[in-house]
Amino acid sequence: MNRFVFYLALSCMLIGAGYSQQSFLLIPDWTNDRVCALSPVDGSVINANFIPTNTQLFDSPKHALPTPRGTIMVADQLKDAVHEFDGFGNYIRTIADLQNNQIDNIRGIAIRDGKLYVTVASGALQNTIQRFNLDGTGQETFISASQLNSPFAIYFRENDMLVSNSNANTLIRRFDLSGALLGQWGGTTIRFPQQITRRRSNGNLLVAGFGSPAGIYEFDAAGNQVAYYAVSSGPRGAYELENGLILFTDSAGVKVFDPNAPNPANTVQTILGQGNYHYIELYEILPGDVNRDRCVDDADLLEALFQFGGSGRADLNGDNIVDDADLLIVLFNFGAGCE
Ligand SMILES: [Ca+2]
Ligand SMILES: [Ca+2]
Ligand SMILES: [Ca+2]
């Protein structure tokens, strides 16, 4: 018991001293057919080739989305497929594609309550949202064609959902959680809205307006526009970093701007160029979750034990050796995330 208390105290000290098992932002790149990993703190590049270039699976990777089990779904617009990868970027399987599921010209995806939602803009299921179990079975039409017009992104809230559409008369529409249309949302100034994300500092929503007047639009929860940042002629997604700057993507780079500056457009800086970048999602790692399956259990402990004294992914604190310190992080968080 005394030893347990000692370990608890020690692991608190170790975690306080510096912790390198870090969460990251997933950003797909159409030019290089890959998915990049950036810091959610300051936008710095962690690994530009997190899911490396893969022209078999990718042509236009649009949206990389974490699942509740720690895997990552990647929707590819022109390959017409949703692929699943593990939390380290290794391919697992293809969840849905054109041949098997008639999903043609797909864009944003979403996951809620064990279901995958996919926007479809062409083919037999044009202008629908298709819904699947997370293994790709159980396909059904969730929102039908008459209510959408070239859908681009899905954003779930507690009691409703928003769907952005690129055609001018539809824009952003609000639905209830069973898919019934509630009405237009967010006004008609924005054109060609793409990704919708929550701004961490104030709970407002950031929407990338891809068409002129292009830029990042900020709305309150009711859909009133409260800010407009003219920082890009064609943004696809925006995300507020922990340092307060706003990260965004367009066909020339991943960039940041300062929303509090007198003229935010003057503060734009490119973090990652030489690519064509799309939606932004946070991949969160549970402390101690060596295998990134969103549960800290025996499997993580065993990896740390097997790698003990050497190197490997159980090196959670990033000091290039798997030792007591890493083992304690697993033990200290044992059971976290597990059902
Ligand atoms: Ca490409
Ligand atoms: Ca685990
Ligand atoms: Ca270590």
Between the CA of 115 and the centroid of ligand 2 the distance, in Å, is: 22
In a domain, 40, yes or no: yes
In a domain, 169, yes or no: yes
Give the pLDDT of the chain (339 residues) as one tens digit per residue.
Answer: 445 444 444 444 444 444 467 899 999 999 999 999 999 999 999 999 999 999 999 999 999 999 999 999 999 999 999 999 999 999 999 999 999 999 999 999 999 999 999 999 999 999 999 999 999 999 999 999 889 999 999 999 999 999 999 987 779 999 999 999 999 999 889 999 999 999 999 999 999 999 999 999 999 999 999 999 999 999 999 999 999 999 999 999 999 999 999 999 999 999 999 999 999 999 999 999 999 999 999 999 999 999 999 999 999 999 999 999 999 999 999 999 998
Q: Which ligand is nearest to the CA of 301?
A: 2
Between the CA of 77 and the centroid of ligand 1 the distance, in Å, is: 10
For residues 229 and 319, membership in a common domain is answered with no
Ion ligand 2 residue ranges (Cβ < 5 Å): 289, 291, 293, 295, 300
Q: Which structural domain, as residue segments, surrounds residue 274?
A: 24-283
Output DSSP code: residue 14. H
For residues 183 and 313, membership in a common domain is answered with no
CA distance linking residue 88 with residue 196, whole number of Å? 26
Read off the CATH number of the domain in which 171 is found.
2.120.10.30
Q: Which ligand is nearest to the CA of 290?
A: 2
For residues 302 and 264, membership in a common domain is answered with no
> Are the CB atoms for 310 and 261 separated by under 8 Å?
no
pTM for the whole thing? 0.93
Q: Which ligand is nearest to the CA of 304?
A: 3
For residues 315 and 198, membership in a common domain is answered with no
For residues 14 and 29, membership in a common domain is answered with no
In a domain, 64, yes or no: yes
Q: Which ligand is nearest to the CA of 277?
A: 1
In a domain, 337, yes or no: no
> Are the CB atoms for 100 and 82 separated by under 8 Å?
no
Between the CA of 33 and the centroid of ligand 1 the distance, in Å, is: 5
Q: Which ligand is nearest to the CA of 302?
A: 2
Tell me the DSSP string of 168-198. TTT-EEEE-TTS-EEEE-S-SS-EEEEEEEE
For residues 305 and 202, membership in a common domain is answered with no
For residues 163 and 268, membership in a common domain is answered with yes
CA distance linking residue 128 with residue 130, whole number of Å? 6
In a domain, 192, yes or no: yes
